[in-house]
Amino acid sequence: MRSYWLEETAATLPQGTIDGEVDVAIVGAGITGCSCALALAEAGLHVLVVDERRVAEGASGRNGGFALRGTAGAYHEVVAAHGRERALALWQWTEAELRALGGLGGDAVRRLGSLRLAVDGEEREELRDEVEALWADGLEADWIDSPTGVLAGRFTAAIRHPTDAALQPARLVRRLASRAAAAGAAFVEGHRVGALDELRADTVVVATDGYPSGLLGELEGLIVPTRGQVIATEPVTERLFELPHYGRHGFDYWHQVEDGRIVAGGFRDVSLEREFTDEEALTDDVQAALERFVTGLVGRELRVDHRWAGIFGLVLDFLPVVGPVPGLPGVWVAAGYSGHGNVLGFACGRLVAHAIVGDRDPLLDLFEPKRLLG
Ligand SMILES: Cc1cc2nc3c(=O)[nH]c(=O)nc-3n(C[C@H](O)[C@H](O)[C@H](O)COP(=O)(O)OP(=O)(O)OC[C@H]3O[C@@H](n4cnc5c(N)ncnc54)[C@H](O)[C@@H]3O)c2cc1C
Per-residue model confidence (pLDDT) at position 373: 96
Per-residue model confidence (pLDDT) at position 135: 98
For 131-157, what is the mean pLDDT?
A: 96
For 336-341, what is the mean pLDDT?
A: 98
Per-residue model confidence (pLDDT) at position 191: 97
Per-residue model confidence (pLDDT) at position 170: 98
Higher per-residue confidence, 15 vs 158? 158
Mean pLDDT, the chain, rounded, equals: 97
Q: Could you tell me if 58 and 225 are in contact, meaning their C-beta atoms sit under 8 angstroms apart?
A: no
Q: How far apart are CA 132 and CA 267, in angstroms?
A: 28
Per-residue model confidence (pLDDT) at position 31: 98
Q: Cα 369 to chain center, whole Å? A: 19
The best mutation among 4, 251, 337 to test binding of ligand 1, ranked by most ligand atoms within 8 Å of the C-beta, falls on 337
Considering the chain, what percentage of its residues have pLDDT values greater than 90? 96
Considering the chain, what percentage of its residues have pLDDT values greater than 70? 100
pLDDT for 308 beyond 90? yes
| Ligand 1 and 320: CB distance under 6 A | no
For 112-139, what is the mean pLDDT?
A: 97
The interface predicted TM-score of the complex, written ipTM, equals 0.99
For 230-245, what is the mean pLDDT?
A: 96
The best mutation among 3, 18, 36, 51 to test binding of ligand 1, ranked by most ligand atoms within 8 Å of the C-beta, falls on 51
pLDDT for 374 beyond 90? no
**Number of alpha carbons in the 13 Å side-chain half-sphere of residue 256:** 16
pLDDT for 103 beyond 90? yes
For 241-267, what is the mean pLDDT?
A: 95
Per-residue model confidence (pLDDT) at position 299: 93
| Ligand 1 and 230: CB distance under 6 A | yes
Domains and CATH numbers, the chain: 21-111+163-223+316-374 (3.50.50.60), 114-162 (no CATH), 224-314 (3.30.9.10)
pLDDT for 1 beyond 90? no
For 199-215, what is the mean pLDDT?
A: 97
For 84-98, what is the mean pLDDT?
A: 98
Q: Could you tell me if 70 and 192 are in contact, meaning their C-beta atoms sit under 8 angstroms apart?
A: no
| Ligand 1 and 342: CB distance under 6 A | yes
pLDDT for 250 beyond 90? no
| Ligand 1 and 311: CB distance under 6 A | yes
Q: What is the 3-state secondary structure (H, E, C) of the chain?
A: CCCHHHHCCCCCCCECCCCCCEEEEEECCCHHHHHHHHHHHHCCCCEEEEECCCCCCCHHHCCCCEECCCCCCCHHHHHHHHCHHHHHHHHHHHHHHHHHHHHHHHHHEECCCEEEEECCHHHHHHHHHHHHHHHHCCCCCEEECCCCHHHCCCCCEEEEECCCEEECHHHHHHHHHHHHHHCCCEEEECCCCCCHHHCCEEEEEECCCCCCCCCCHHHCCCCEEEEEEEEEECCCCCCCCCCCEEEHHHCEEEEECCCCCEEEEECHHHHCCCCCCCCCCCCHHHHHHHHHHHHHHHCCCCCEEEEEEEEEEECCCCCCEEEECCCCCCEEEEECCCCCHHHHHHHHHHHHHHHHCCCCCHHHHHHCHHHHHC
pLDDT for 67 beyond 80? yes
Distance in Å, CA 93 to ligand 1 centroid: 21
| Ligand 1 and 30: CB distance under 6 A | yes
Distance in Å, CA 31 to ligand 1 centroid: 8
